[in-house]
Every structure is written in C-alpha cells, then in structure tokens.
C-alpha cells in the first residue's frame, strides 16, 4: 500500500527516489524498500509525506485525499525574516557588529566564527529594531507641520 502511494506521488511530482531520499534525509535504498514492499513502514513517514506534498494518512491508505492539510511552503532549512526596508545608519550597524564580535571567540577557525555570528545575528537585528523611527514622529526636527500633525494623531480631539 505505502509503496504504490509513494511511487504514484513521485510520478505525479516528477521526482526521483534519490531526490526524495535527499530531501527526507534517508538513503535511496530506504525509499526503494518502501516502494518494492520489502519494508512496510518508516519512522520517517511524516517527512516522506511532507516531501511528497501529501499526508501520512494518505500514504498509509487511511484516506483517499491526496492533498495534505498543510503543504510545505518552504524547505525546513529556510526561515522567513521580515525586516523594515529602512536600514539604520552606519554607526548603528557598526555598534551592532561590535556587540556581536564581543561575544564571538575570534581564535576559532573562520568557519566557526561565521557560525557563531550567524547564531547571534537575530539578537543583533532585534537590537536594531529598537532604533526604527516612530512613524508618528517628524523625520525632520524643523518640520513644524509634521510635528503638529503627529501630535494631533497622538491626541485626537474628542468628538461631541
């Protein structure tokens, strides 16, 4: 049952056993064993189902619904980061990087230093979030009209 379902999904997606195995993190032989029926299950069935854009229940024959409740939107190794387009000035970025470097062992190999910096980067970016300008504050100190408009937005006049 599982084997025919896996084979059908591979064909539907135009995917090879090797590609599926690489995405799931198993050997091609594991996938071949499932398809041939030599193996009737896998502890990686949920990963196989996700890679095949279906559900474990479909692969097990418990449902005829091919579509999973949630199709993968991006590979597991990607994380979505949302940033404001406006970047802080160079001084703020320099301070952030100096702070990150203070927490890194610079005696390590370059790759290890890069890894530590990558792990610390979200913390550094979070500190920069505090530097974002307040959208209600005037961007030019001499801009009296903006200041008045900003103040009006903060303290609306009560309506009778």
140 is a domain residue = no
107 is a domain residue = yes
Last residue in a domain, options 59, 76, 98 = 59
* Nearest-angstrom CA–CA distance, 42 and 59: 11
Instruction: Tell me which residue has tokens 């996700």.
Output: 50
Specify the pLDDT at position 2: 87
12 is a domain residue = yes
Confirm whether pTM is higher than 0.75: no
What is the domain count for the chain?
Answer: 2
| Domain span holding position 100 | 90-129
Specify the pLDDT at position 62: 85
Residue 137, both tokens: 């504050």
* Nearest-angstrom CA–CA distance, 59 and 20: 14
Mean pLDDT split into 10-residue runs, the chain, 160 residues: 89 91 91 88 86 88 74 54 66 88 91 91 78 54 43 42
Specify the pLDDT at position 157: 41
15 is a domain residue = yes
Concatenated DSSP letters for 104-133? S-TTS-HHHHHHHHHHHHHHHHHHHHTTSP
CB 150 within 8 A of CB 138: yes
> Which CA distances in Å does 115 have to 75, 93, 94, 109, 110?
20, 19, 19, 10, 9
Concatenated DSSP letters for 20-37? HHHHHTS-HHHHHHHHHT
* Nearest-angstrom CA–CA distance, 5 and 61: 8
154 is a domain residue = no
Specify the pLDDT at position 43: 83
Residue 15's CATH number: 1.10.260.40
Specify the pLDDT at position 153: 39
């Amino acid at each position: 049952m599982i084997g025919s379902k896996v084979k059908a999904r591979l064909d539907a997606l135009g995917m090879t056993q090797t590609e599926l195995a690489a995405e799931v993190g198993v050997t091609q032989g594991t996938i071949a064993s499932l398809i041939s029926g030599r193996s009737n299950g896998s502890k990686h069935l949920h990963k196989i189902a996700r890679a095949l854009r279906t559900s474990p229940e479909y692969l097990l024959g418990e449902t005829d619904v091919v579509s999973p409740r949630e199709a993968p939107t991006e590979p597991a190794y990607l994380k979505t980061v949302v940033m404001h387009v406006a970047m802080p000035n160079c001084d703020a970025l320099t301070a952030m990087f100096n702070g990150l470097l203070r927490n890194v062992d610079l005696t390590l190999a370059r790759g290890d230093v890069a890894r530590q910096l990558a792990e610390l980067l979200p913390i550094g970016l979070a500190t920069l979030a505090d530097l974002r300008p307040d959208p209600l504050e005037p961007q030019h100190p001499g801009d009296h009209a903006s200041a008045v408009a900003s103040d009006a937005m903060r303290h609306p006049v009560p309506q009778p």
